[in-house]
Amino acid sequence: MSKSMWQGVIPALTTPFTEHGQVDHDFLARHAQWQVESGCIGVVPLGSLGESATLSFDEKVAVVRTLVRALGQVPVIPGIGALSTGEAVRLAQAVEAEGARGLMILPPYAYSTDWKEMSAHFRAIAGATGLPILLYNNPIAYRTDFSAAQIAELAGEFPQIEAVKESSGDIRRLAAIQELSGDRLVLMTGIDDAIVEGLAMGVTGWIAGQVNAYPRESVALFERARAGGYAAVKELYDWFLPLLRLDTIPKFVQAIKLTQQCVGWGSERVRAPRLALEGAEREAALKVIEHAIKTHPGL
């Protein structure tokens, strides 16, 4: 597998639900195809934005099956998150059998302690598959923080670790990872409102959130910033930033799905314990979304 699989815009896909609460596989396929047609280079289902923690094992496998069938040779890179190491290993093997092209490995959902236990969890999953791996570091969400040195240690042990999705929010981490790993790892970010800054620090891939509603704009933002830096993308970034900041609030899933609904590419339906935004939270999100729709700068 070429590391080019990680270099570009990759949606962290939302999981669509029917009015009866089941996964909407028809829309899932159409939505993923639209993302690719708009310039995205692959898709990442079953992440935080995909409400993976609320999906059953069989639902997760079915999501990957639908996407592989819909996208053909376009990489489907599911998130591997679970309550237990054993379940995560089984999921990695199951989605590999369904045709996944890579894995985004998360820390366990509910239990987080020290490096010994968290690295053992990661090693068990990585050792159970031959697929290329994206290591996902998001201490804000998962309370496990992989340091640059720990990331370098795992990458040294497992050649199939090709990329790291660094989402600690500390831009200095990118320099630290490069200092220890050189060009061994592709650097990616999963924080929407830090993509231009991340590109300046060596990021070459973006696991994006608001791309679910605005794929063409996300690809244009990424490519223009990669080619010309902040100056080349300032107008587009200024327009996009309020939307991108909705990716970093506690109810980011609801906010991004609401954005999709407003632009006609999805529904705000979520799975409990999440509930759709209401009251002041909904009004604040709608104000941002509606302003963005009215002031779209064009491409």
Give the full edge-to-edge strand order of the sheet including 133-137: 9-11, 205-208, 186-189, 161-166, 133-137, 103-105, 79-80
Look up tokens 């990661």; give the residue: 122
C-alpha distances (whole Å) from 210 to each of 105, 240, 244, 247, 260 are 21, 9, 6, 7, 8
Q: 60, 142, 165, 251: which one is catalytic? A: 165
Which of 158, 98, 130, 132 minimizes the C-alpha distance to 6?
132
* Phi–psi pair at 135, nearest 5 degrees: -85, 125
At 196, the amino acid letter reads V
251 is catalytic: no
CA dist., res. 60 & res. 62, Å (int): 5
Element (H, E) at 136: strand 133-137
Catalytic site includes residue 165 = yes
Ramachandran category for residue 105: left, alpha or beta (phi over 0 → left; psi -120 to 50 → alpha): beta
Please answer whether residues 239 and 292 qualify as being in contact, where contact means their C-beta atoms are separated by less than 8 angstroms.
yes
Peptide bond into 273 cis (omega under 30): yes
Query: Catalytic residue among 60, 136, 214, 251, which?
Result: 136
**Residues catalogued as catalytic:** 136, 165
